[in-house]
Amino acid sequence: MVEKYILGIETSCDDTSAAVVGADGTVLSSIIATQTDIHAEYGGVFPEMASRAHSEFLLPVIKKAMKDAQVTHEDLCAIGVTRGPGLIGSILVGLNTAAGLGAGWKIPVIGVNHLRGHLRSADLEEKRIIFPSLILLISGGHTFLALMKNHDSIELLGTTRDDSAGEAYDKVGRMLGLDYPAGPAIDRLALQGESNIPFPRPMLHKGLEFSFSGIKSAVSRYVETNKDFSKEDVAASFVDACIDVLMKKCKVGLVQTQAKSLTIVGGVSASKQIRERADRLCKELNVHLSLPPVKWSTDNAAMIALATWDYINADIHPEPIPVMGLSITEY
């Protein structure tokens, strides 16, 4: 049972985030310092700059999260911190800070898998997932379909063979001259255009695996050979191709697994168009659609704190592993 508060820390990419959840798993505070301005001029995340920015922002962000939640370190029973996957330098800043605070405050530090955090994002603030649920995780680093029978039983059904969905959005955004991260801008631009360019739908009829690099290459060829292209139409056609593939795989997965709900998490699930198409699909198949509010789709520490809450609640006690002479337990 969880009796006190939990501090969550997330630094796997370009967002420095800290959050506090209460003994019942309620989110009490969530602070996110984004580094978008720092990386914009490089057209993508510059790993060394990201680690430096995390080092500068993390302690103030943690202080603010604890202040907003009106807790001191004495109210905490654990710290949960992203242990990967992500940028190694950025993760080390989070791990070392958490390990240092945990040693000083004499509370355990739990290293949480970032993807487990995303899976938990759909239940932040209220329980939305109806089990068994087909999970579509679409982020900047990953794309997969999984069947979740409950929070501890996750069966991977299919993943991407090359780029993730978010990577494709960001790379196509770069081709269209949009600032990083281009996902939200492409999504908006697409709403102003027409889907009139027949970009491929890779692996549409091949099981539950994905491939996005072919769509990306087709867009690259199109913009190189059609100098007067319409950015809006390219965006609309690209988004349409990606969503056709994503929804087809969800449909096959839902029919195959007979899941009661479809849960979509990860940064790309912030897309208005994906949300609308998923809503249509779920109505057609008569299954529940579980979507986190847009603010919990992208990286945040609240999802890491909630995943840590699961761990404490389940009373799991594996051996802590040493990190730079301090100790961390993995989840």
Q: Cβ distance 108 to 94 under 8 Å?
A: no
| 270 near ligand KG4, rule: CB under 6 A | yes
Contact pick of 187, 233, 240, 310 for ligand KG4 (by CB under 6 A): 187
Helix (H) or strand (E) holding 274: helix 272-285
Give the pair of three-digit tokens for residue 185.
């801008």
Picked from ligand KG4, Zn ion, none, the partner binding residue 187 (CB below 5 to 8 A depending on kind) is ligand KG4
CA distance 264 to 250: 10
| 117 near ligand KG4, rule: CB under 6 A | no
Counting DSSP H helices and E strands in the chain, the numbers are 10, 12
Smallest gap from residue 5 Cβ to Zn ion (A): 23
Q: Cβ distance 244 to 193 under 8 Å?
A: no
Give the pair of three-digit tokens for residue 103.
């040693």
Contact pick of 25, 158, 253, 266 for ligand KG4 (by CB under 6 A): 266
| 299 near Zn ion, rule: CB under 5 A | yes
Three-class DSSP category at 169: helix
Nearer to ligand KG4, 99 or 274 (CB): 274
Please classify residue 1 by burial: count the beta carbons closer than 10 Å to its beta carbon, then call 0-12 exposed, 13-18 middle and 19+ buried. exposed
Contacts of 56 by beta carbon, 8 Å cutoff, 6+ apart: none
Q: How many CB atoms lie within 10 A of CB 294?
A: 14
Nearer to Zn ion, 167 or 299 (CB): 299
List C-alpha distances in Å: 109 to 62, 84, 116, 226, 315.
15, 15, 16, 54, 14
Helix (H) or strand (E) holding 102: helix 88-105
Contact pick of 10, 123, 163, 170 for ligand KG4 (by CB under 6 A): 170
Smallest gap from residue 154 Cβ to ligand KG4 (A): 17
Contact pick of 30, 51, 82, 139 for Zn ion (by CB under 5 A): 139
| 184 near ligand KG4, rule: CB under 6 A | yes
Contact pick of 182, 242, 262, 305 for ligand KG4 (by CB under 6 A): 182
- For ligand KG4, the nearest residue by Cβ is 267
Smallest gap from residue 325 Cβ to ligand KG4 (A): 29
Interface residues with ligand KG4 (CB under 6 A) are 13, 139-141, 166, 169-170, 181-184, 187, 266-268, 270-271, 298-299
Residues that bind Zn ion (CB under 5 A): 139, 299
